Every structure is written in structure tokens, then in C-alpha cells.
Amino acid sequence: MSTVTTVIDGKAAAASVIEAVTSAATTLESSGHRKPGLAVVIVGDDPASHAYVGAKSRMAKQCGFNSIQHTLPEETSQEDLMALVAALNADPDIDGILVQLPLPKHLDSEPVIQSILPEKDVDGLHILNAGKLATGDLKTGLISCTPAGAMILVRQIHGKDLSGLNALVIGRSNLFGKPMAQLLLNANATVTIGHSRSRDLPELARQADILVAAVGRAEMVKADWLKPGATVIDVGINRVAAPEKGEGKFKLVGDVAFAECKPIAKAISPVPGGVGPMTIAMLMANTVIAAHRRAGVAAPSF
């Protein structure tokens, strides 16, 4: 392509969401309501999970939220975890509840997640929220954070109406692929969902004006998969060996071979710094939305 490719700046987009969230939280509080309250629950000692939870708690404070972290021991029983969620459901100061996944192996995450009140389900994982999204109700539920964030990046490039554009989502998880497809469809894209059982992903990809990859396979999408001028959203985060950084060193790469795809694309999101920062920003957005609804005040949209 002779034109210059846009490298989508997820950090800047996330910062802009956080700014809007902070402003909405301030306005809510200054109009006589309490601060938005986010409860983050973590069970066990997994260092990666603790790092994620720490980042979420810090971001919540930065947004002006009341952020409460519940750290439970590894040996916590299903009953005790469910009892904590029930208490947080009943707590009038809590607008959002996030249970950090994965849980230790002896715990069953699905009943825990489904026991969160749908209106406090800021991760957007409750079946009722999935049902609202699946039936095109984007106004009263809470939408899974990563697809909601990826959509904001798509909108930066194409605007709100994707009529006439072909979108391919590679990956069909409940966390990302399915809700992403529903959001794209709702924006009038013609949506294809490809996955591990698809016959010819490269051929499907070559027809996509918008290609969203979420499979967890390092640099799977190659330059010859792309339609020239496509928008490429890379949701993969893969840890691969980086001997150039020294023995035993690793780096993060996406599902898209960025260097070779960039010259073909119209716009492309990098890893890291693309979709990644949007996830936590949308968690804050969901929390401030939930707080507004709870306060009976019109919620901002993102």
C-alpha cells in the first residue's frame, strides 16, 4: 500500500476512556451520590493474577472509585466464596464485582460468576448479560470488557456504522469471539466467525475488511492472509522465546505477524499496546455505568 498504515494506539484510546470514566465518576459524586464501588475478589497466590488484580485496583482508585480488594486463601471453599459474592451482591456501596479468573482448581468458577447480580457483573460474564448482547440490547446490560474495548478501536477507524464491511472474527470463545461477533453484527457488519474447525482461514481472512484475531497462536495471521487495506485487530497475547534479548528471555507477541502485516493493512493494533490496555479501561467503564444505573442517573456510553 502506498498510504501510511495507522498503528492503533490502544494506550491512548484507553487513556481517553479512563478520562471519561473519571470525569463521570466525579460528576456523579459531586451531584450528591457516593463514589462508584468496585469489589475485586482474588483467591490464592498466583502471581500473574495478583499482578492483574493490583493493576485493576490501582486503576479504580485513579478513576476516583471506592476500590475494595478481597484476598482469599488458596484453600477457600466454594461455599465461602459464594457467601462473599452474596454479601457483595447485598452491599449497597458496591456497584461492580469482579472475581479474578482462573480460580484454584478445586473451585468451580461458573456457579460463582452466575451468582453475581447481573447489574454488578462488570466483567459481562453473566448469562443474562450475554443474552442481552445476543439479542441486540446494548443499553441495559454490561458487555464483556475485551470485545467492548476492541469495538472502540474498530470505531476509531470505521465509525459507528459498519454497513457493507465484511468482518472476520477468528476464535469463538464466550469471553471474546462470540460477543465480538455480536457487537460487529450490531454495528451492521457482515460477520463471519472462523475457528479451529474452519476449512480455510487464510481464504476467509482475505475477504475481510476487518480482521479480528483471538486464537492464542503466536503470529498465526500472515501478510498473505490480508486483504490489502484491511483493519487488523489483534487480541492474542502470546509469550514466546526472545533469544535476541538474552538466554531464557521472553517477549509478548500477538496472533498477527505484525511486521509483515503492517505494510498491507490500513490500520493494525499492536501487541502489546493495542487491545490489552482497553480491557481494564472497559472494566472501569462498566463500573461507572453500573454506578450510574444504581443511582438512577443516566449512564455515560463509551
Query: In angstroms, what is the minimal distance from the CB of 168 to a copy of itself?
Result: 9
- Selected from 71, 188, 240, 250, the binder of a copy of itself by CB under 8 A is 188
Least distance in angstroms from the C-beta of 136 to a copy of itself: 7
Q: Out of 95, 121, 123, 209, which one is annotated catalytic?
A: 123
Minimum distance between the CB of residue 142 and a copy of itself, rounded to whole angstroms? 12
Instruction: Indicate which single residue of 38, 39, 98, 130 sits in contact with a copy of itself (rule: CB under 8 A).
Output: 130
Which of 35, 56, 227, 262 is the catalytic position? Answer: 56
Report d(CA 185, CA 174) in Å as an integer.
16
Strands (E), the chain: 6-7, 37-43, 66-72, 96-99, 166-170, 190-194, 210-213, 231-234, 238-241, 250-253, 267-268
d(CA 33, CA 19): 19
* 123 labelled catalytic: yes
Binding of a copy of itself by 288 (CB under 8 A): no
CB of 77 to a copy of itself, least distance (A): 24
Query: Any idea which residue has 493493512 for its cell?
Result: 265
* Near a copy of itself in 153-172, by CB under 8 A: 163-166, 172
d(CA 184, CA 167): 7
DSSP bridge pairs for 240 = 251
Comparison of 200 and 244: residue with beta carbon closer to a copy of itself: 200
182 binds a copy of itself (CB under 8 A): yes
Q: Is 190 helix (H, G, I), strand (E, B) or coil?
A: strand
Binding to a copy of itself (CB under 8 A) within 202-221 occurs at: 204
Contact between 126 and 113 (Cβ < 8 Å): yes
Question: Is 160 noted as a catalytic residue in this protein?
Answer: no
Smaller CB distance to a copy of itself: residue 81 or 193? 193
231: contact with a copy of itself by CB under 8 A: no
Q: Which of 95, 100, 227, 266 is catalytic?
A: 100
When binding is defined by CB under 8 A, the residue of 127, 138, 157, 237 that contacts a copy of itself is 127
Cα separation of 257 and 281, whole Å?
Answer: 26
Q: Does 266 bind a copy of itself (CB under 8 A)?
A: no
The question of whether 78 is a catalytic residue gets the answer no
CA 220 to chain centre: 21
Contacting range for a copy of itself; rule: CB under 8 A; set: 4-12, 39-47, 56-64, 130-138: 130-138
Decide: 235 and 176 in contact? Cβ < 8 Å: yes
- Which residues in 261-273 are b (16+ Cβ under 10 Å) and which e? bbebbbbbbbbeb
- Neighbouring residues of 180: CB distance < 8 A, sequence distance ≥ 6: 147, 150, 151, 169, 212, 214, 235
Minimum CB separation of residue 188 from a copy of itself in Å reads 4
**DSSP, res 227:** P
Positions marked catalytic: 56, 100, 123
Residues of the binding site:
171-173, 237
Q: Which positions lie near a copy of itself, rule CB under 8 A?
A: 126-137, 163-166, 172, 174, 178, 181-182, 185, 188, 190-195, 197-199, 204
Residues of the binding site for NADP(+):
171-173, 237
